[in-house]
Amino acid sequence: MANFNQFNLSAPLLQSLERLNFTTPTPIQAATIPIALVGRDILGSAQTGTGKTGAFGIPLIEKLLSDKQSSALVLTPTRELASQVLLALQNLLGRNSPIKTSLLIGGDSMMKQLGQLRLKPRLFVGTPGRINDHLERGTLNLSQVNFLVLDETDRMLDMGFSIQIERIIKFMSKKRQTLLFSATLPKDIVKIADSYLDNPERVAVGSTSTPIQKIKQEVVHTSESEKYSKLLGQLDARTGSIIIFVKTKFGAEKMAKRLRDENHQTDAIHGDLRHTKRESVIRAFRNSKYRILVATDIAARGLDIPHIAHVINYDLPQCPEDYIHRIGRTARAGAEGEALCFVTSEDRGKWNAINRLMNPSAAPEKFSSDRPARKKSSGGFRGNSSRGNGERNSFGRGGASRTSDGRNSSANDTGAKKSFGFKKSFKSSGGFKKRTGGRQKAA
């Protein structure tokens, strides 16, 4: 597909795409848009950062423009992603569009949302919890909504929203078009698809279990006692914005304070922050007010900040799939990025699970406190200690993309372009393994 003109889109939508400098669809868009435009349900698997928002957003907006009786609902796992998606869709609608929109997310003013609903919006974007709140209050009527998008469905299920999603769907008309997107397609996703999608067309672009090619992945083997000092060495050796992942809320606050004490410009986000505070922190990071953001997995869901150059996994994720979503915070919209993991002997199980995800045929790694740097292993790693401290191995290029998104500070065209993630090519490969590791404290 050479350009968007070949989709026979409405003139206002084509004008918006031209204004946003979107000319060439990404592979997931080229595969999805023609199918969605003819009204088919879609079960889509593609990584975040590959243009998924445009893949469902363009046919959604076309539906609203061409059918004045239609309305649409987009469900996302997090407030930040919902804000990002709505911003992207509003940019496609254009500044003077008569189509009203509503953002329904937890932590936001209920009175503000009630005001939006009184204007009879035709486009709703929100999180399952707050959508259910409105349904139970009787302040939201979805009976006429005929276009449903489930974005990052695997993340929504991981966060315990399966029952809420089912409740929401029961409030909707059965005569609807449903587009379900997920970075991975485990059995519970397929079950939802079987229950709520009507003979869906399966759309998959590349492997959903490995990152895109623009991310250089590296590992530093260390001990728990030396990990923090080696982190400082890595921070000093790197340039550009950095996001550091830790496993707990307390750990995020503690890490941010320690780094500030070391004169690093740092802040933290985690699940205990109020929505307004978290938005403020993300906005400041987006505007480069500080260089380092410490985050937990849930707090960083959907975070889309184009200038993140490095992702550091200070604590490994409990679930191997989360590794894909974590490192996808970098290398947005075709840019390049780097991802670094600190691995201790206590991380053996989690690290081998991630290693199997990235290299399905790789043998489990042997761990020791003082082993020499390896030049080569069955998993294809190569030794590299050119930066920072400790033994460091490189996966080379070939990694994840990024989850759909975080909060944009303004509805400008540049922000929309970044959020859509349009780029020229996509290529990935690899296998996938299921959850491994112990229980993780809630973030």
Residue pLDDT, tens place only, 184-217 = 777 888 888 999 999 999 998 765 555 566 789 9
Residues 169 and 275 in one domain: no
Structurally, how many domains does the chain consist of? 2
This prediction has a pTM of 0.65
Task: Judge whether 437 lies within some domain.
Answer: no
Q: Sheet containing 391-397: which strands, arranged edge to edge?
A: 266-269, 292-295, 241-245, 308-313, 337-343, 215-221, 391-397, 382-383
Residues 321 and 228 in one domain: yes
Task: Judge whether 258 lies within some domain.
Answer: yes
Residues 64 and 94 in one domain: yes
Of 358, 389, 405, which closes a domain? 358
**Cα(45)–Cα(40) distance, rounded to whole angstroms?**
16
**Cα(335)–Cα(210) distance, rounded to whole angstroms?**
17
Residues 101 and 194 in one domain: yes
Task: Judge whether 421 lies within some domain.
Answer: no
Task: Judge whether 180 lies within some domain.
Answer: yes
Q: What is the pLDDT of residue 198?
A: 95
User: CA 85 → CA 56, 82, 233, 366, distances in Å?
Assistant: 10, 5, 37, 43
Residues 300 and 342 in one domain: yes
CATH number of the domain enclosing 113 = 3.40.50.300
Decide: helix, strand or coil at residue 195.
helix
Q: Terminal CA-to-CA distance of the chain, rounded, Å? A: 42
Task: Judge whether 379 lies within some domain.
Answer: no
CA angle 436, 442, 443 (to 5 degrees): 105
Of 154, 186, 204, which closes a domain? 204
Residue type, 204: A
Task: Judge whether 433 lies within some domain.
Answer: no
Residues 167 and 218 in one domain: no
Contacts of 343-350 spanning 24+ positions with Cβ under 8 A: 343/219, 343/220, 343/221, 343/222, 343/316, 344/221, 344/222, 344/223, 344/224, 344/227, 345/223, 345/369, 346/224, 347/316, 349/436, 349/437, 350/316, 350/317, 350/318, 350/320, 350/436, 350/437
Residues 46 and 92 in one domain: yes
Q: What is the pLDDT of residue 211?
A: 57
* Cβ neighbour number for residue 200 with a 10 Å cutoff: 18
**Cα(143)–Cα(124) distance, rounded to whole angstroms?**
13
Residues 164 and 313 in one domain: no
Of 155, 183, 204, which closes a domain? 204
Q: What is the pLDDT of residue 279?
A: 83
**Cα(330)–Cα(421) distance, rounded to whole angstroms?**
12
Backbone angles phi, psi at 397, to 5 degrees: -75, 145
Residues 165 and 221 in one domain: no
Residues 98 and 123 in one domain: yes
Task: Judge whether 334 lies within some domain.
Answer: yes
H or E element that contains 181: strand 177-182
Task: Judge whether 405 lies within some domain.
Answer: no
Residues (pLDDT < 50) of the chain are: 1, 369-386, 390-443
Residues 229 and 290 in one domain: yes
Residues 233 and 85 in one domain: no
- Residue range of the domain that includes 133: 4-204
